[in-house]
Amino acid sequence: MSRKKQALNPYLPSWEYIPDGEPYVFGDRVYVYGSHDKYNGHVFCLGDYVCWSAPLDDLGNWRYEGVIYQKRQDPLNRDEKMCLYAPDVTVGPDGRYYLYYVLDKVSVVSVAVCDTPAGAYEFYGYVQYPDGTRLGEREGDEPQFDPGVLTEGEKTYLYTGFCPKGDKSRSGAMATVLGADMLTIEQPPVIIVPGQEHSAGSGYEGHAYFEAASIRKKGDTYYFIYSSELMHELCYAVSKNPTEGFSYGGVLVSNCDMYIDSYKPADMPAAYGGNNHGSMVQIGDDWYIFYHRHTNGTWYSRQGCAEKLCFRDDGSIVQAEMTSCGLNGGPLHGEGEYPAYLACHLFTSQPSVYVGGDAFPKIMQDGRDGDEENGYVANIKDSATIGFKYFDLQHVKRIGIATRGYANGVFEIKAGWDQTVLGTIPVENTNVWEWNWTEVTIPDGISSLYFTYRGDGNASMQAFAINDREENLR
């Protein structure tokens, strides 16, 4: 029987930029809804909404569902001058699928509807009070942003809010209850998690609400997922009631792996982070957190990633570690060729929590947005480290890397970022991709692979190979 395709991180093709992922299981597939960045984009969310899905039993086999909603479909945006910010989807009491979103220059919540999870959505209306006033436009309303939705019976719970540092007019994350028509407000907004300017004495200090509202329910517990004032982390709060009583739970994932101390110091950033947005989903017996990472050395070309979650007996959640194997259900095969864009760790001897700057390595691609060009790691200078995890390594004797660029030096091979150098691969100036190899022995078992560049110049890394033969590579 043929082996299923491995699931990789990022889980979509490297030329696709879908951040703010909201995953849902509908039928026998998992669907991911998000905003749509462009490669080399100058701002967030320049594209129309698209959808991808995968079979529940084959999470490495993602299918493009196409464009599901265009920015010009909103009556407020016929001229397409506003971007579609992060959406969410819920199934209404009528069995139809409702897509909630906010445009980038207005503070109202728009709704579109479709009969299928990934068909063509049509504009439906705006969330409003019974008198027809749109939410966000009544006196005293706070601006709406980043809707997250959960429907139970005839009620839909809508969570919104954006709380930048220094703005005391923004109180925190809001919960609003909608009726069966999915538009009309039955209970006006209440604050469930404070923003930074209102977090003193709340238990949320240091991890107060910033943006990226999302909601999930496990058993009888509501998990409110959000991006904190630090931006790089997705946190969660828990309650037995969807509109009150939430208490801070912890960090689900950080897109620079802050606080993880299993392989590095807790305060060491292992990637270049930035804003974060995503949510949880149960697939089979397992739960996963979907989030995004930053590429191209900017904030505006983000890619979806996912990691397995572990729940403790009390319902709390262990922070997930960034990996290259995400949805795979275990380590990747310890043989063959892998693209370098799977790097879950990128850093140099100069630490940085946030993305940006010419000194740091970055994941990028050739061509323009939409070109189906595989990504690679670029701007590799002295001390740059590229990390991948995890692999089931057995009888490893040979490692190769494909590089290009004007650089003279070596790539050190290690099983951990600070572990003993197991071998080195020399590289020289080349303007085309070339493979170089070394014989190396790596202990058998589940392991990481790290490549650290030592030398002059600036290199790019396209791929690496384990125990393969050069003639077998593309």
Catalytic residue set: 20, 211
11 contacts 327 by C-beta, under 8 angstroms: yes
Q: Give the closest residue to 340 by CA, choosing from 295, 377, 387.
A: 377
Sequence-ordered strand ranges (E) for 317-429: 317-318, 332-333, 336-339, 345-347, 362-364, 376-380, 385-393, 396-414, 423-427
Q: Are 36 and 370 in contact (CB under 8 A)?
A: no
- The one-letter code for the residue type at 122 is E
User: In this structure, what are the phi and psi dihedrals at residue 352, rounded to the nearest 5 degrees?
Assistant: -155, 125
Query: What are the Cα distances from residue 391, in Å, to 300, 328, 333, 443?
Result: 30, 11, 6, 12
Quickly count: other Cβ atoms within 10 Å of residue 354's Cβ: 16
The residue type at 243: T
Cα–chain center distance at 302 = 8
Distance separating alpha carbons of residues 369 and 194, to the nearest angstrom: 38
Residue 267: Cβ within 10 Å count: 10
User: Which residue, 362, 339, 354, is CA-closest to 40?
Assistant: 362
Q: What is the DSSP string of 51-83?
A: EEEEETT-TT--EEEEEEE-GGGSGGGTT--S-
CA dihedral 449, 450, 451, 452 (to 10 degrees): -160
- Rounded to whole angstroms, the Cα distance separating 448 from 407 reads 25
Taking a C-beta distance cutoff of 8 angstroms, is the pair 78, 63 a contact?
Answer: no
Instruction: Give the 3-state secondary structure of residue 53.
Output: strand
Report yes or no: 445 and 407 within 8 Å, Cβ to Cβ.
no
Amino acid at 184: T
Distance CA 258, CA 271 (A): 9
Size of the chain in residues: 474
